[in-house]
Structure 1
Amino acid sequence: MIISLYFFKLENSAGGAERSVIWLSNQLVKHGHFVHLISWDKPGSKTFFALEKNVIWHKLGLCHNFTNKLRKIFRLTALLKSIKSDVLIGFVMGGDKAVYVSSLLSNTKVIAAERNSPIMYSIKLNKVFAFFYLNLFSLANKIVVQFDAYKAGYPFYLNKRIVAIPNPIATPKLFANVVSKDINQYTLLCVSRLDTQKNLEILILAFSLLAKEFDNWNLKIIGNGSLIQELQSLIKHLSLTKRIKILVSKTTINKEYANAHLFCLPSIWEGFPNALAEALASGLPSVGFSSCDGVNKLIKHRHNGLLVKKNNVEDLAKALKVLMKNSSLRLKMSKNAKLISSKYQEAIIYKRWETLINRTCRNI
Structure 2
Amino acid sequence: MKILLVQHLYFINGSGGTEKICSFLANSFVNNGHQVEIATNENISGKAIFKLHSLVKVTNIYSPDLIQKNQIPISNYSGSNPFNWLIHKIRKKYAKAYNSILKMSMKGEQNLFVYNLERRAKAWKTYIDEVKPDVIITMSIGSLLEITYNNEITVPIIDSVNGRPDYDYTNIFGGRKPFEVKLLKNSFQNLAGVQLLFAGYSDYLPDCFVGKVAVIPNPVPRIKEFVNHFISKDRYKVIHIARLDMACKQQHLAIESFAKLAPQYINWDFELWGVGSDMQRLQKQITDLNMEDRIFLKGFTEDPIQKLKEADIFIFPSKYEGFGLALAEAMSAGLPAIGFKSCSGVNEIIKHNETGFLVNDNIELCVCLEKLMVSPALRDQLGKNAKISIEDFSEESISEKWQKFVQEIVYSSAVTKNIRI
TM-score by length of 1: 0.93
For 1:324 and 1:249, locate their aligned partners in 2 and report how far apart those are by CA, in whole Å.
26
Question: For 2:13, what is the secondary structure of its paired residue?
Answer: coil
Q: Is the 8 A contact 1:220 1:245 kept in 2?
A: yes
Contiguous gaps of at least 5 residues in structure 1 = none
2 CA distance for matches of 1:161 and 1:34? 23
Give the alignment partner of residue 322 of structure 1, picking from 351, 355, 371. 371
2:353 paired residue number = 302
Alignment of 1:1-364 (within 5 A): 1-7=1-7, 8-42=9-43, 44-61=45-62, 65=70, 66=113, 68-94=116-142, 96-101=144-149, 104-120=151-167, 121-125=170-174, 130=181, 133-156=184-207, 158=209, 161-181=212-232, 183-195=233-245, 196-310=247-361, 313-363=362-412
Separation (CA, whole Å) in 2 of partners of 1:79 and 1:127: 29
Q: Could you say if the C-alpha distance between residues 107 and 92 of structure 1 is closer, same or farther in structure 2, counting changes exceeding 3 Å?
A: same
User: Structure 1 residues 62, 193: closer, same or farther in 2, change over 3 A?
Assistant: farther
Identity %: 29
Shift of residue 345 of structure 1?
1.3
Q: Are residues 134 and 179 of structure 1, via their aligned partners in 2, closer, same or farther at CA, if it must alter by over 3 Å? A: farther
DSSP-derived class of the 1:158 partner: coil
Give the Cα separation in 2 of the matches to 1:52 and 1:44. 20
Distance 1:323 1:158 in 2: 44
Q: Is the 8 A contact 1:188 1:263 kept in 2?
A: yes
* Distance across 2 between alignment mates of 1:62 and 1:127: 27
Decide whether the 8 Å contact of 2:191 with 2:211 is kept in 1. Answer: no
Contact 1:300 1:306 in 2 (8 A): yes
RCO higher in 1 or 2 (8 Å CA, sep ≥ 6)? 1
Which deviates the most, 89-98 or 196-205? 89-98
Q: Secondary structure at the match of 1:247?
A: strand
2:319 aligned counterpart, secondary structure: coil
> Does the 8 Å contact 2:229/2:377 carry over to 1?
no
Q: Aligned pair in 2 of structure 1 residues 176, 159: CA closer, same or farther (>3 Å)?
A: farther
Which has the higher mean CA deviation after the structures are superposed, 80-89 or 114-123?
A: 114-123
Contact 2:12/2:45 (CA < 8 Å) preserved in 1?
A: no
Can you list the C-alpha shifts for 1:329-358, whole angstroms capped at 9, x where unaligned?
111111111113420111111111111111
Contact 1:29–1:54, Cα closer than 8 Å, also in 2: yes
User: What residue in structure 1 maps to residue 82 of structure 2?
Assistant: none
Cα separation, partners in 2 of 1:303 and 1:235, compared to 1, 3 Å = same
C-alpha distance in 1, partners of 2:320/2:358? 14
CA distance in 2: counterparts of 1:320 and 1:294, whole angstroms: 20
Letter of the 1:358 counterpart: Q
How big is the shift at 1:170?
1.2
Shift of 1:131: 6.1
Say whether the 8 Å CA contact 1:43–1:59 is kept in structure 2: no
Question: Aligned partners of 1:153, 1:127: CA distance in 2, in Å?
Answer: 20
Q: Which ranges in structure 2 are unaligned for 5 or more consecutive residues?
A: 71-112, 414-421
CA distance in 2, matches of 1:265, 1:49: 22
Give the superposition deviation at 1:242. 0.8
Rg bigger for which structure?
Answer: 2
Give 1:44 shift: 4.7
Q: CA deviation at 1:45?
A: 1.9
- Distance in 1 (CA, whole Å) between partners of 2:132 and 2:142 is 23
**Which moved further from structure 2: 86-95 or 117-126?**
117-126
Instruction: Provide Cα deviations, 1:220-260, integer angstroms capped at 9, x if missing partner.
Output: 00001110111111110110011111112211111101000
Matched positions, count: 360
* Per-residue CA distance 1:259-282 (angstroms, 9 max, x = gap): 000001100111111100000000
SS in 2 for 1:226: coil
3-state SS, counterpart of residue 276 of structure 1: helix
Q: 2 CA distance for matches of 1:213 and 1:108?
A: 61
C-alpha separation in 1, matches of 2:134 and 2:242? 35
Q: Which moved more, 1:89-98 or 1:295-304?
A: 89-98
**Conservation of the 8 A alpha-carbon contact between 1:94 and 1:114:** no
Q: Answer whether contact 2:144 2:159 (CA < 8 A) is retained.
A: no
Residue aligned with 2:282, SS: helix
Q: Partner of 2:335: helix, strand, or coil?
A: coil
